[in-house]
Amino acid sequence: MDYQFYDTYSNSKKIFLPLDPTNVRMYVCGPTVYDYAHVGNARPVIVFDIVYRMLKFKYGEDHVTYVRNITDVDDKIIEASNTLNEDIVSLTKRTIEYFHDDAEYVGALKPTYEPKATDHISEMISIIEKLIKKNHAYESDGNVLFAVDTFENYGQLSGKSLEDLIAGSRVEVAEYKKNSADFILWKPSKENEPGWDSPWGKGRPGWHIECSAMSEKFLGQMFDIHGGGQDLTFPHHENEIAQSESCNDKKFANFWMHNGFLSIEGEKMSKSLGNFITINELKNRYQGDVIRLNMLLTHYRQPLNWTEKGLKESKKILDKWYKIIETNNQNLQQDHENISKKMMVALADDVNTPLAISELHQLYKAANDGDNKALNAFYSSCKFLGILNSSYNDWNTWQPSDTNLDENLINELIAKRNQARNSKDFSEADRIRDELLNLGVILQDKDGKTTWKLK
């Protein structure tokens, strides 16, 4: 059975033919670790976990390499470190642990490799040096920038001309740039910022060069699939292509796959709207299977409207599915041979998870009518999709909790509220206070200090 994936670069659905069937390689952009991941961040984790499972199913457990990076040096990380008065190493370590907990919660398998940007600075410097030597990059005031007009295919991924991309994006205008679209490969570190020695002085890498260096280190100069959220298409992925292909004179990734945007109750997720939901918050209200199933009910390339109604419906579906598994537990045989061929046909067509879930409903119906073969197919197929990970007892006895918060999260929110108050952004300060109150936390401001207690 051939897999077909939609390739953003060619704007078409194509049959997937790996460069090397004995080592199928996929790279997915991972988190920037400065705070809890939000529900939108969970979508690529789940989407590309399904792709990973599909690749292993077809090519074998030991013939797929999945890399998901961690960005642990970034402007947002520095800002969070200053806001929380916490050193960067401690902040990133703690946030990486949060992310791992979140990924496990939504049933995602661990990637083959999970490289951190700060462990690959020398690889980044090496690529930058090559780009300068080949006249694709230049140094200016301690910065090193990629010259976009030296790369003929710039804009191919996003399907826009360079002029359109510049007009439609927030491009930093700076005197040290030859072209306003040129992007940072390396920049000087300010005092009290992380920095590394380089031929251009002490500094730190730009965001885009990090992924080019880590993907090349673990997957080679050319690999099969590069994935991520639709929001990364430009400038991040566009810039990755420009710098990697300019450096190595060969195609960077064979397929580009992007999941669609996520909205909350029909609106863009935003802290200002009060609809910003972290995965950690969801743990207090729903089991991880609910989050995963709810994500899979929408095709990965389509916009996903995250609603409370949808979560409750997913919970009801899973209640029935867990019950039939418990009722027939002794008759079940989990095996790849039992996985529904119809479900795999659905997934083979550009990861059509809604159609795959529809097939599960049909199998459930047949199993409920006493068809043991359908029951085994149902069970094995659910497990393949990463669903039904709990025991029936754990599922049935689990209760939501509004007070299952750790002190780190509470202190982070208090620090953000204090920053908002210092900036005289009192509406944001009040919003954070109300958010904590809804979570069962009461704040007390006295003598310039803020303390808290649970309701």
pTM of the model: 0.88
Interatomic CA distance for residues 212 and 407, integer angstroms: 37
How buried is 87 (Cβ within 10 angstroms: 0-12 exposed, 13-18 middle, 19+ buried)?
Answer: exposed
Q: Is the peptide bond before 18 cis (omega within 30 degrees of 0)?
A: no
Query: Do 335 and 191 have their domain in common?
Result: no
CATH of the domain at 243: 3.40.50.620
My answer on whether 42 and 172 are in the same domain is yes
Give the pLDDT confidence of 232-259 residue by residue, as tens digits.
999 999 999 999 999 999 999 999 999 9
Task: Indicate whether 440 belongs to any domain.
Answer: yes
Is residue 367 one of the residues assigned to a domain? yes
Please give the pLDDT value at position 363: 97
Tokens 């080019």, located at residue: 212
Cα 91 to the chain's mean position, in Å? 19
195 burial level (CB within 10 Å; 0-12, 13-18, 19+): middle
Domain that holds residue 186: 4-263
Tell me the C-alpha distance between 340 and 344, whole Å. 6
Do 227 and 329 belong together in one domain? Answer: no
| Same domain assignment for residues 343 and 424 | no
The pLDDT value recorded for residue 427 is: 85
Identify the segments of the chain with pLDDT beneath 50. Answer: none
Q: Give the total number of structural domains in the chain.
A: 3
229 and 151 fall within a common domain: yes
C-alpha 99/C-alpha 407 separation (Å) is 17
- What does the pLDDT read at residue 435? 82
Are 203 and 347 within one domain? no
Q: Looking at the domain assignment, is residue 279 inside a domain? A: no
Out of 397, 422, 439, pick the residue that ends a domain.
397
What pLDDT sits at residue 402? 56
